[in-house]
C-alpha cells in the first residue's frame, strides 16, 4: 500500500499492521477483535476520497470509524484499511440565518453540543455516548433521551457530503427546510452503518436553546404503575425526556455515582425532563403533568445540583454495571404500549436462566436498554447462555411488534435477529441498494447487510 503514503504525506497519520492499537481492531465493547493492514487518519475529504479510490481499484476492504463507541461490532475491521475520521473534527460554518451548522464528521457530540449552546442555540439529539462522533451518530441514526420531544438524529441532518465506494464525492440534502426534489438519498444514508459511503461533512439543523429546564422524579409502588402512567403523560404533554428506572436498578447507579435518588421507598421511577422558553412555561407543564398522574409521589429538583444528581444516577447505570462485571448491552424498541409486557418477560427470563438483567431506558419512545450481566461465568458457558437469552429476548421483542435496534444499529452482532425482524424481500432490496452503491463491496462489508 505504498500509494497511501503519497496520499497522506504525514507519516504520523499512517499506522501499519503491527502498530495498530488493539482498541482500533474492536468496537466500544472491546470483546471481539478483527485485523487490518493499515490505519489512516485523513484530515480532508480529498484524502478520504483518494484513499477510497485506491482501495476500490484494488478491491481492499475499508472499515470506517469515529470515536469507536459502537456496541454492535461495526468497527471491528475485516482486513484492509481502517479509516479513522477523528481528526476531521472541525466546525466548518455556523449559519445563524438558516439555523444550521456544518461540521466535519469526527467532531464529538459533547463538543458540538457545548459549542452551539454557547451561541444560545441547541442541537437536540442526545444519545448516551457523548464521546461518540456526529458521523457515527448519523450512521446509526442515534436517538437518546430527548427523542421523545425532539426526535432522533435523522430529524436534524440537513445535508451530508459523502465519499462513495469508488472515491467520488457526492452531496445529499441542502439547507432547505422542505425538499421533495427526487428520491431522498440523504434519508437512505442516515442509519446505513457505513455501508453505502463515508460521511465526510454534515450540515445539521439547530433550534433556539430552551431557556428553562426542570427535572422531576416520580415514584411508583410498582413498575406496572410506572409504565401505566407513561401513556397518561404522553397524552397530557410532550416532555423533553421520559425515562424509567426500577428501584433495584437505581441502586447500581446510586452506589456508583455516590448520589441518591429521592423517594427511596418507591419501587419504580419515571424521570421527567421539561423544557421551555421560561420558568412560567415549565410551571404550566408541571401542573398539567401532575394533575393527571395517579398512585404516585413526586419530587421536583429545585436546584441545578439536584437535577444533576438525578441524571448522574441515571447516566451512570451502564458504568456502574461494568465496574462490577462484563455486560452485554441490548437496545430493543417496542411500541410504547408494549413496554410493560417486555419488562415482565425479562423478569421471567431472568428467573429461568439465572442471568441478571437490568432494564432501564427511554420510556417515552419504547426504547428499552438491558444490561445482561456475565457475573463471573466462564466464557463458553456465558456464550451459550447469552445466545439462549438473546434468542428469547429478540423473539419476544419481535412478537410484540418491536425491533432489534432502536439506536445502536445491527452491525455484526444482531444479524440473526435482523433476519427474524425484517422479511426476506426487504432484505433483498437493501442488498440490491448496497450493490448499486458499492459494486465491489468494500465498505464496512463486515456488517449485516451482506449476510442477510
- 304-323 residues in contact with its own copies (CB under 8 A) are none
Binding to its own copies (CB under 8 A): which residues in 154-173? Answer: 154-155, 164, 168, 170-172
Q: Which residue, 50 or 137, is less far from its own copies as judged by CB?
A: 137
Least Cβ distance, residue 79 to its own copies (angstroms)? 24
Kindly write out the interface string for residues 425-444 of this chain, putting x where it contacts its own copies by CB under 8 A and - elsewhere. xxx-xx-xxx-xx-------
Q: Cα–Cα distance between 427 and 419 in angstroms, integer?
A: 8
Fill in the DSSP letter of residue 184.
-
Q: Is 185 helix (H, G, I), strand (E, B) or coil?
A: helix
Give the one residue of 69, 367, 444, 446 binding its own copies; rule: CB under 8 A. Answer: 367
User: CB of 275 within 8 A of CB of 209?
Assistant: no
Query: From the list 236, 260, 306, 441, which residue makes contact with its own copies (rule: CB under 8 A)?
Result: 236
Distance CA 340, CA 401 (A): 13
Binding positions for its own copies, 252-281, rule CB under 8 A = 277-278, 280-281
Exactly one of 125, 191, 194, 253 binds its own copies (CB under 8 A); that residue is 191
395 touches its own copies (CB under 8 A)? no
Q: Which three cell numbers stand for residue 55?
A: 482501495
C-alpha 63/C-alpha 269 separation (Å) is 41
SS3 446: coil
Cβ contacts of residue 69 below 8 Å, gap of 6+?
27, 28, 129, 131, 132, 136
Q: Which string of x and - marks every residue 65-104 that binds its own copies (by CB under 8 A)? A: ------------------------------x-xxx-----
Q: How far is the CB of 308 from its own copies (least distance, A)?
A: 26
Residue 262 grid coordinates: 429521592
Of the candidate residues 55, 116, 274, 334, the single one contacting its own copies (CB under 8 A): 334
* Residues 99, 265: Cα–Cα separation, whole Å: 45
Q: Cell numbers of 325, please? A: 462485571
Q: Binding of its own copies at residue 232 (CB under 8 A)?
A: no
> Strand, coil or helix: what is 170?
strand
Given candidates 407, 444, 445, 446, which one binds its own copies under the rule CB under 8 A?
A: 407
Among 1, 212, 237, 324, binds its own copies (CB under 8 A): 237
Amino acid at each position: 500500500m505504498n500509494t497511501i503514503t503519497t496520499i497522506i504525506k504525514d507519516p504520523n497519520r499512517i499506522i501499519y499492521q503491527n502498530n495498530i492499537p488493539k482498541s482500533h481492531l474492536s468496537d466500544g465493547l472491546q470483546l471481539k477483535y478483527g485485523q487490518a493492514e493499515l490505519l489512516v487518519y485523513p484530515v480532508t475529504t480529498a484524502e478520504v476520497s483518494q484513499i477510497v479510490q485506491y482501495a476500490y481499484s484494488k478491491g481492499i476492504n475499508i472499515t470506517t470509524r469515529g470515536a469507536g463507541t459502537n456496541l454492535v461490532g461495526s468497527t471491528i475491521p475485516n482486513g484492509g484499511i481502517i479509516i479513522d475520521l477523528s481528526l476531521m473534527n472541525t466546525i466548518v460554518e455556523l449559519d445563524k440565518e438558516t439555523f444550521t451548522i456544518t461540521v466535519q464528521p469526527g467532531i464529538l457530540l459533547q463538543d458540538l453540543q457545548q459549542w452551539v449552546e454557547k451561541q444560545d442555540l441547541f442541537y437536540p439529539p442526545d444519545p448516551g455516548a457523548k464521546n461518540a462522533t456526529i458521523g457515527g451518530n448519523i450512521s446509526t441514526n442515534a436517538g437518546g433521551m430527548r427523542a421523545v420531544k425532539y426526535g432522533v438524529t435523522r430529524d436534524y441532518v440537513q445535508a451530508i457530503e459523502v465519499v462513495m465506494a469508488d472515491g467520488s464525492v457526492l452531496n445529499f440534502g441542502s439547507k432547505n427546510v422542505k425538499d421533495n426534489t427526487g428520491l431522498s438519498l440523504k434519508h437512505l444514508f442516515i442509519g446505513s452503518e457505513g455501508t453505502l459511503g463515508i460521511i465526510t461533512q454534515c450540515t445539521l439543523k439547530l433550534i433556539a436553546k430552551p431557556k428553562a429546564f426542570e427535572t422531576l422524579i416520580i415514584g411508583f409502588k410498582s413498575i406496572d404503575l410506572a409504565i401505566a402512567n407513561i401513556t397518561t403523560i404522553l397524552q397530557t404533554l410532550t416532555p423533553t425526556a421520559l425515562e424509567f428506572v426500577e428501584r433495584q436498578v437505581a441502586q447500581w447507579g446510586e452506589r456508583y455515582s455516590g448520589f441518591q435518588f429521592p423517594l427511596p421507598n418507591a419501587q419504580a421511577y419515571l424521570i421527567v425532563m421539561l423544557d421551555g422558553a421560561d420558568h412560567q412555561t415549565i410551571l404550566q407543564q408541571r401542573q398539567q403533568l401532575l394533575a393527571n398522574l395517579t398512585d404516585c409521589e413526586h419530587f421536583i429538583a429545585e436546584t441545578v445540583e439536584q437535577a444533576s444528581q438525578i441524571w448522574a444516577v441515571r447516566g451512570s447505570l451502564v458504568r456502574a454495571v461494568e465496574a462490577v462485571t462484563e455486560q452485554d448491552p441490548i437496545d430493543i424498541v417496542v411500541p410504547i404500549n408494549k413496554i410493560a409486557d417486555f419488562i415482565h418477560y425479562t423478569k421471567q427470563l431472568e428467573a429461568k436462566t439465572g442471568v441478571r438483567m437490568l432494564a432501564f431506558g427511554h420510556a417515552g419512545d419504547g426504547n428499552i436498554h438491558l444490561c445482561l450481566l456475565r457475573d463471573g461465568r466462564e466464557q463458553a458457558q456465558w456464550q451459550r447462555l447469552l445466545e439462549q437469552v438473546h434468542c428469547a429476548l429478540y423473539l419476544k421483542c419481535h412478537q410484540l411488534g418491536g425491533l432489534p435496534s432502536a439506536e445502536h444499529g445491527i452491525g455484526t452482532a444482531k444479524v440473526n435477529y435482523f433476519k427474524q425482524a425484517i422479511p426476506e424481500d426487504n432484505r433483498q432490496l437493501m442488498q440490491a441498494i448496497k450493490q448499486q452503491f458499492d459494486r465491489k463491496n468494500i465498505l464496512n462489508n463486515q456488517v449485516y447487510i451482506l449476510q442477510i
